[in-house]
Amino acid sequence: MTTDPDRPDTPAARRAVTLRTVGERCGLHASTVSRALRRAADADATAARVHAAAREVGYQPDMVAASMRTRRSRVVGMLVHALTDVVQAILVEEVEDELAAHGYQLLVVNTHDRSAVQRAKVELMRSRRVDGLIIADGHVDGAYVDWVASLGIPYVLALRRAGDHPAMVGDDMRGGELAAAHLADLGHRRIGLLQGPAYASTSAGRAAGFRAELARRGLALPGGLCESCELFARGGHDAMARLLARTRDLTAVFAVNDMAAIGAIGALRSAGLRPGWDVAVVGYNDLSVAAPFGLTTVRGRQQEIGRLAARSLLGALDGEPPRTVVLEPALVVRETTRPPRAAP
């Protein structure tokens, strides 16, 4: 292989192609090259010359070096509790797309909602000099987010709120009300609730709104009709099974997210009950799995939340203080909700 040290432009032979390399190629100083490269290729004669030379020697900017010098990494950190929660995955996907469109990259971490992990990973990301943080695993007790805020790094919450920290969220309380109102309007009176962890404002808000709306209608939730569960299919399945083991005297159930609802549907079928006909089911989020299941649900608007969170953080990096945005939910009625068999 002919490896001329003066022209290391075959990809395999490349070694440290820097601004200096480009400069030598076109007889200019590295600093001039740096400036010219920031201009468009057709801005002026030198810019054109420099861009051409850069291409010829296969120059690739070293963003690590640039980060070091400018103190801006153009990397954003994002904390999720688990990527396998489809809602969190949607957020990450939207955030990554939006950031990429603005020249930023994304460092994601799973925290499994464990506070020691949350803090450790924030520290790690700060070591990496991320420009800002998107927090999708916030806890209502503000300790964690308060701490992040105290670090002085730009941040914004997504999906879940915590205290008065800037957050892009859905109106979960309102969504819970919509679910309750819908079932009550259909004539249901004994309605079960599958709720999630209290530390997540999403599940807590939905459950609270649901209970409040029922109470407003004089239908306060009977004690035995509430189960806590983890918000994925198996969790919803098991919780519904436990509930049914205790009583079958119910005609509807609201699960605070779609996966739990789908699990519940499975449990109903196993128990010989037909979802929709024997027991109405309402979920939350309107994931794409909801439609083929005919699941009545509440639109969670997580794509928009992801986009907004990314844009909001980008804004914060430009000095605009982030504000909280609350998106209005909407009920999506499908086949799993019908009036009770023996409507009053």
Partner DNA sequence: ATGAAAGCGCTAACAA
Partner DNA sequence: TTGTTAGCGCTTTCAT
> Quick check: 84 binds its own copies (CB under 8 A)?
yes
- What b/e sequence results for 308-325 when a residue is b if at least 16 CB atoms lie within 10 Å of its CB, and e otherwise? bbbbbbbebbeeeebeeb
> Quick check: 66 binds DNA (CB under 7 A)?
yes
Strand duo 167-170 + 155-158: pairing: parallel
Stretch that binds DNA, among 25-33, 80-88, 275-283, 330-338 (CB under 7 A): 25-33
Torsional class of 163: left (φ above 0), alpha (ψ -120 to 50), beta (otherwise): left
Name which of 329, 335, 167 is nearest 256 in CA terms.
329
* Per-position x/- string for 26-45, each x denoting binding to DNA as judged by CB under 7 A, each - no binding: -xxxxxx-xxxxx-----x-
> Quick check: 248 binds its own copies (CB under 8 A)?
no
Contact 328, 171 (CB under 8 A): yes
Query: Could you tell me where the DSSP H helices lie in 132-171?
Result: 143-150
Cα 271 from Cα 176, distance rounded (Å) = 26
| Residue 236, CB-side half-sphere exposure with 13 Å CA sphere | 25
Instruction: Give the Cβ contact number of residue 15 at 10 Å.
Output: 8
Contacting residue, 40, 43, 82, 101, with its own copies by CB under 8 A:
82
Contacting residue, 35, 49, 119, 129, with its own copies by CB under 8 A:
129
Contacting residue, 25, 51, 121, 139, with its own copies by CB under 8 A:
121
CB of 189 to its own copies, least distance (A): 27
> Quick check: 90 binds its own copies (CB under 8 A)?
yes
Contacting residue, 207, 262, 305, 314, with its own copies by CB under 8 A:
262
Stretch that binds its own copies, among 48-56, 200-208, 266-274, 320-328 (CB under 8 A): 266-274
Instruction: Name the residue nearer to DNA (CB basis): 65 or 343.
Output: 65
Cα 257 from Cα 297, distance rounded (Å) = 8
Q: Can you state the angle between helices 30-38 and 45-57, rounded to 10 degrees?
A: 100
Contact of residue 124 among DNA, its own copies, none (CB under 5-8 Å per partner type): its own copies
> Quick check: 338 binds its own copies (CB under 8 A)?
no
User: Scanning residues 179 to 198, which ones bind DNA (CB under 7 A)?
Assistant: none
Question: How many residues sit close enough to DNA to count as binding (CB under 7 A)?
Answer: 25
Q: Can you state the angle between helices 30-38 and 19-26, rounded to 10 degrees?
A: 100
Contact of residue 150 among its own copies, DNA, none (CB under 5-8 Å per partner type): its own copies
Q: What angle do CA 206, 209, 210 make, to 5 degrees?
A: 85
Query: Phi/psi at 244 (nearest 5 deg)?
Result: -65, -30
Contact 285, 87 (CB under 8 A): yes
Which positions lie near DNA, rule CB under 7 A?
16, 18-20, 27-32, 34-38, 44, 46, 59, 61-62, 65-66, 68-70
Q: Where does this chain bind its own copies (CB under 8 A)?
A: 11-12, 60-65, 67-68, 73, 75, 82-84, 86, 89-90, 92-93, 96-97, 100, 105-110, 121, 123-129, 150-152, 232-234, 236-237, 259, 262-263, 265-267, 269-270, 288-289, 291-294
